[in-house]
Structure 1
Amino acid sequence: MRHPLSLLEQRHSAPSRQLGEPGPAGDELLALLGAAIRVPDHGKLVPYRLILLQGESKRIFGERLAALSLRVNPDLPESKREKDRTRYEFAPLVVAVVAHLDPDSKVPVIEQKLSAGCVAYNLLLGAQALGYGAQWLTGWAAYDRDAAGVLGLADNEQVIGFVHIGTPQLDVPDRDRPALADVLRTWTP
């Protein structure tokens, strides 16, 4: 019998450049997305949005980001321009997880961002549960307002991360993890 926590114990990221077809689609994709949004949400604000990048839209998004980075840094080496241009093309699905923030809410903005972050993490767990690999990446585009404009984000929205999902093309070894004893303490008064 499988240990109830085995999914969490085995969770690891698969590098986005090693993710290929197939990826979740159709009803399976809808089920994954529906499960991913079952997150803590203080105040029922729904402080997150999902934007799917699939097919040709991934290439176009990368091209627009490469043009933005070149405008900001005209001396950008070709290798970095190429990386910006192609970084979204490997995995068959990239989900931009967006924090939709209400700064006037009684719920602190950090809690709203954490809720959106939980959506990104649920995508990682859900993809793994379905047999896919996934990686949560940010990069400069997650923090850049012009890149946010390419995605059509409002002023009160920001990218929490780009979750790349697909089938690992290589076995990905797990990385070293901290020992629990190194990060755990019990508070006593």
Structure 2
Amino acid sequence: MSSSPVSSPALEVLLSRASTDHLNAPAPDKEQIGRILSAGLRAPDHGKIRPWRYIVIKGKHRAEFAEQVVRAMLSADPEVPEKKIAKRRQRFSEMPMTIALVMALDPQSKIQVQEQELSVGAGAMNVLNALHAEGFGGFWVSSDFAEEPCFREALGLGDAQRLAGFLFVGTPDKPVHGSKRPDISDYMAFWKSEPVRFEADK
């Protein structure tokens, strides 16, 4: 572990990050997104499983991808409301960039699958922080259709691969301040040879 202290500017970047889905063009270019996603590969990875996979959807492929989303939604629920379909179609086709977060898990490894999943989550957080550091914005969403066979096939997912959600990526349409963060003292406790109690749990 490096003994170098975290620089104040770097810490301020982390403390100022907030999610936003009010995103416009431009999205990162090929070189930028490669560098940003490289931050995801710095996540803790016990056993060197390297479970992170990132599928980038941009440009003219967004509309086609949105149709795959709609197809999967209808496969999961043939009676899904048209209003919900229209909203999802618009969202996936108009976001400047979407990144599908794929978990390439190894159930045969001695490393627990949960730990592998956590590594993917840590990688996604690194990506969100890197986006913010580079002047972009991001928003992490889950889905209720990701396990549909037609969608998995469209993405080319293997048997041991699953989706951890999607990151919407672009340039925030206005400065992002986010909601007021809770006081860390409510979520931190020092163990002193007896069970701890968190103010947040009271």
Q: Do Structure 1 and Structure 2 share a fold, with TM-score over 0.5?
A: yes
Amino acid at match of 2:89: R
Does the 8 Å contact 1:97/1:119 carry over to 2? no
Aligned residue-pair number: 187
Structure-2 change in CA distance of 1:40 and 1:79 (3 Å): same
Q: Secondary structure at the match of 1:163?
A: strand
Amino acid at match of 1:160: A
Distance 1:95 1:177 in 2: 26
Distance 2:118 2:107 in 1: 14
1:58 aligns with 2:62: yes
Map residues 2-41 of structure 1 onto 2, 5 A cutoff: 3-15=9-21, 18-41=22-45
Question: What is the identity percentage for the equivalent residue pairs of Structure 1 and Structure 2?
Answer: 35
Map residues 96-175 of structure 1 onto 2, 5 A cutoff: 96-175=100-179
Deviation at 1:91, TM superposition (A): 2.7
Deviation at 1:59, TM superposition (A): 1.3
Deviation at 1:145, TM superposition (A): 4.7
- What is the TM-score when the length of structure 1 is the normalising length? 0.89
For structure 1, which runs of at least 5 residues remain unmatched after alignment?
A: none
Deviation at 1:122, TM superposition (A): 1.1
- What is the TM-score when the length of structure 2 is the normalising length? 0.84
1:179 aligns with 2:176: no
Bigger Rg, which one: 2
1:74 aligns with 2:93: no
Does the 8 Å contact 1:142/1:148 carry over to 2? yes
Deviation at 1:141, TM superposition (A): 3.2
Deviation at 1:186, TM superposition (A): 1.6
Amino acid at match of 2:11: L
